[in-house]
Every structure is written in structure tokens, then in C-alpha cells.
Amino acid sequence: MPVYLDYAATTPVDPRVADLLGRHLTQEGIFGNPSSSTHHFGQRAARAIEVARAQVAGLLNADAREIVWTSGATESNNLALRGAMRAHRRQGRHLITGKTEHKAVLDVCRRLEQDGYSVTYLDPEPDGSIALERLAAALRPDTALVSLMHVNNETGVVQDLDAIGALTRSRGVLLHVDAAQSAGKLPIDLRACAIDLLSLSAHKLYGPKGVGALFVRQRPHRVRLEPLLYGGGQERGLRAGTLPTHQIVALGEACRIAQAEMGDDRARLQTLRERLWQGLAGSGAILNGHPEKHWPGILNVSFSGIAAEALLADLPEIALATGSACTSGTAEPSHVLRAMGCDAARARGAVRFSLGRFTTPAEIDYTLRAVCAAVARLRVLSPFCASDTADATRSIDWGAPASTTFEGRAGVLVDELWRSDGR
């Protein structure tokens, strides 16, 4: 059966969200241009957009006037970094970020460097966390902005935003957070945490692709940005262009559902992640990331002596990833894992399992059986693992009945696999 475990790349649209989205597309629904304020159709669309703005703000405990619509987290990141650095270039031209950030931040930083700005790239700890002391040491009198993600898209590692925000606020430095992987999944209180700019994307929290938002703090101080797009004056001049009412109301509904169901979703995913990790650990998997400070929807592991591409090719019925969806098509090993100190072999052997709202226990069990069988077969074929595999197979009692443990189920499955191959 096909199993989807790539929720970190994108999520399916929740049926409740899809229903509302459809009702804002056709003539019978609310399809008007929200900027057409002189007639009923435009006014209804404008009201729907403001309801959605309040729903996004409610999820983040922010003021609705602090929410700016964008096409997604990539645009939000660009607007936050380029807009803030340009607007504050007289105060300072130095920016700090982490080496484990998403390419939508790292590539912007490299572009800013070409424009004459200075960027410091922080090394993470081996577990993926950013040490507060390292960040403090990197701050300079001309530092204008710090940009760090909340939840890493490859490892699920969670950064301590409260401590980071307290540090940057005390030094008068703006803080931008890429929350694409955490918004709607972990609590974010923007009234309590000193975050100045925050990016999110609808398609990471069961909304449609092509729409996102940027939180731009107004109180106790107003964050100034230079826009990327001009023409029309929408979003108080920060983001020109006709607003896609259907996508925006869908993002608002996705945020409303996430706020209501976040606790239950997180508890269920924690149980599924532990089930998955215990089974994978039994087959020799190595955890990439922090053992405790993680979002349960993402599990990144490496299998020694096995290339991730070979493993995924042997599991065509299971949707997994070898890294970020934005970079998995490249031949280079994960920049996130390399920054964490993983050697090339471990980085190339890394597989990301990402779970979500519609993942079931049956899918986890099916995945464990399939992965264990594939790992066992590939280790037999691998010259790096042949001796270890031989030792392991000699220790298995192939005639023993399957136990209720993962190891018992896996052993029977591997036995069946070997016999089907004539071994």
C-alpha cells in the first residue's frame, strides 16, 4: 500500500480547508477582488480576508494588523531579510544566521553578501541546536538582524526562541524566525516572545500551496521593511498584488483548525514517532538530531553502510526524503547534517521520515517491516556491511515464531525476503 511520510515537504489539504477554499472560487461564492471596495462582491471578499487575518493572528497570539499576506514562507523570508536589512542599513549591515537554515534563508543571505552586507553563519552543536553563548559572541555593534528557524525541516530540532529572543531584544537587534515547520504544530506566543518577524506557509499546515504570511511586529516597536514588490499598494504597501481570497481564507481556516487541535495532534504524533524510532533503532539506525528537543513529526536517521538513495529506491511504495524537498534533487549530502559534524557517509545515508495529521499506526508498522527488510537486503549486498550482516544473520533463529516485538516481526519478514530470493 502507498504510504505518505513526507509531511515536512508538503501536507495534503485538510478536507475542511478544501471545502472552504472551493466556496471562494465560483460565481456562487465569494470570488470578488478584495480591492474593489465600491461593490458588494469586493466588500465580501475583503471581509473574508480580514477574518482569515484574525485567524492567523489568533494562532500566533498577535495583532491582526501585524499579519502580511505573501505567496509562502520563501517570499516571507525574502521580505523579512532583504526588507529589514535594507530598511535598517544605516543602523547596521551585519546579519547572523545558522548553517542549518533552509535554503530560502541561506540563499538570501548570500545575495545580501553580494550587495555589500556582512553575514555570520553560526555552527550548530552536534545535536543541531544553536548555543546561546555562540550567538551572543557573534553579535556586533553593527548587527541589525538575527534569523534562526524554530523547527529544522530536516532533523526536527527545536530552537529555544524564548532565550534567543530575550538576548536579541536586550541588544537591540531584530529577530526573524522561519516557522514554516512549527506554525500550527507547536505553541507560538508572539506577545510573550521577543520575535520581530516570523514566516509561515499554508502548505506546511494542511492548507494550499501558494500562500503564506509574514508577522511584522508593530508593538512595542514598529519594524520597518522595504517591500520587494511594487504596484497597487496592497498590504499597507509592503506587498503589492491582488490578494488571492480563496487561498487566504483557506490559510485562515487551516490556522483555526491547528489552534483547536494542536495538543491532540502533537500527542498522537509523539506516540507514532516513538513507535517508529524504537523499530528503526532495532535495525541499527542512528539518530540525527537532538534526542529530546525535537518536533515529533520529523525523524531523521542514518543506516551505516547504506546510501539513502538506494534505500528509497527499494521502497517505492513509501514516500520518504533524503533531505529538504528543495535540495533533495542534488547530489550533495545534506548541508544541515554536514554542519552538525556528520561525515559524508552518514549524511549520504540519512533518511527523513515526516509524519502528519493523517498518519496511522498501521502505516507506521507497515513502514517498519518494509524498511527493515530493505535494510537487511542492502546490507547483504553492501561490501561495507557484509561481515556484520553475516554475524547478525547467524544469530537469528529463522525457525522461531514471530514475537510481538519489532525485532521478531522484522526477523520473519527478512527470512521471507531471503527465501523468496532463493537464499
Task: Kindly list the catalytic residues.
Answer: 326
Virtual torsion, Cα 264, 150, 72, 100, nearest 10 deg: -130
Type and span of the H or E element at 415: helix 406-420
Cα(82)–Cα(27) distance, integer angstroms: 39
Q: Which residue has the cell 494562532?
A: 59
Transcribe 39-93 into DSSP letters.
SHHHHHHHHHHHHHHHHHHHHHT--GGGEEEESSHHHHHHHHHHHHHHHTTTT--
Q: Where are the strands (E) in 134-269, listed by range?
A: 143-149, 174-178, 197-201, 212-216
Rounding to the nearest 10 degrees, give the CA dihedral for residues 180, 184, 187, 188.
50
With beta carbons less than 8 A apart as the criterion, state whether 173 and 202 touch: no
Crossing angle of helices 15-22 and 245-281, in 10° steps, is 170
Helices and strands (H, E) in the chain, number of each type: 13, 12
Biggest alpha carbon–alpha carbon distance for the chain: 80
**Cell 509524519 belongs to residue:** 355
Q: Are 129 and 312 in contact (CB under 8 A)?
A: no
Q: How far apart are CA 256 and CA 60, in angstroms?
A: 11
* 83: number of Cβ within 10 Å: 22
**Pairwise CA distance, residues 90 & 142, whole Å:** 9
Pick the closest to residue 8 from 221, 289, 203, 188 (CA basis).
Answer: 203
Angle among Cα 159, 163, 164 to the nearest 5 degrees reads 65
The torsion angle over the Cα atoms of residues 386, 391, 392 and 396, rounded to 10 degrees, is 130
Grid coordinates of 385: 556491511
Specify the amino acid at residue 46.
Answer: A
C-alpha cell read off for 237: 504597501
3-state secondary structure of 236: helix
